[in-house]
Every structure is written in C-alpha cells, then in structure tokens.
Amino acid sequence: MTTIVFTKAASGAAGDEILHPAIEDEPWYDKEALVLPKTLMVVGSAAEMDFYLDMYQGKDYKGRFYNTSEGAAAAPKRSDDIRPVMDAVPVKLGSLKLIQGMAPTTNVAVIALEMIGG
C-alpha cells in the first residue's frame, strides 16, 4: 500500500484539479503507473465539512470527500477521517483526479490518498 500525503493551501477555485500539481515534481511520480485507490482522508481548513474533493477515475465519478477534522495542525489519524473509495478499479495515476469543490478556508487542508500500486 502506498500513501501520498500532501497539503492544499487556502487558495484556488472550485473545479481546480489538485492531485497532480501537488505530486508531479516528486521523483517517484509516473503518470503511466497503474494504481488502485483504496481510501482518501481530508482534514484541516477552518471547520469540519467546509472543504471537499470530488474523485474521478478518468471520467468515472468515485465520490465526494469532505474534510472531517478542522485546524491548522490537523492530520489524518482518526478512524472517521478514513473514507473508502467505492467501486475503484486500477487506472493509470495520470487519470486519477481530485477536484476541489471549494478552497479550504483559512487553514491548509491535509490530504492522504492510500492506494495499491504506483
């Protein structure tokens, strides 16, 4: 299992894709690698449920993931921070998308994506 953890500043606009800009400069990044997303954890921002991400595998919508804990120092750790990705199938990393529905408020958001492969 591989876990990618990254932050999202309180900026941007609804509809921004945030996964690839956060990881594409990493030495291990390979957009052609096959991955199977298992869970997504989103915490931070100013209040619970004030920030969300929509996940897509290619054009297939896989779910909406809200931040479950607030605060500047929030980190994905509680069992209720972990949300399963339903009906996921192996896809190329380059076709996996996290689209923000709104920008985090005040504090950064911390996102952790668990997947097999990569």
Closest C-alpha to 57, from 14, 93, 5, 17: 93
pLDDT in single tens digits along all 118 residues of the chain: 678 787 777 677 889 999 999 899 999 999 999 999 999 988 887 778 888 899 999 999 999 998 887 766 666 666 777 888 888 889 999 999 999 987 666 778 888 899 998 7
Q: Global pTM?
A: 0.86
Task: Please give the pLDDT value at position 50.
Answer: 84
- Domain 2-117 falls under CATH 2.60.120: yes
- Structure token pair of residue 67: 């931040």
Residues 6+ away with beta carbon under 8 Å from 16: 99, 100
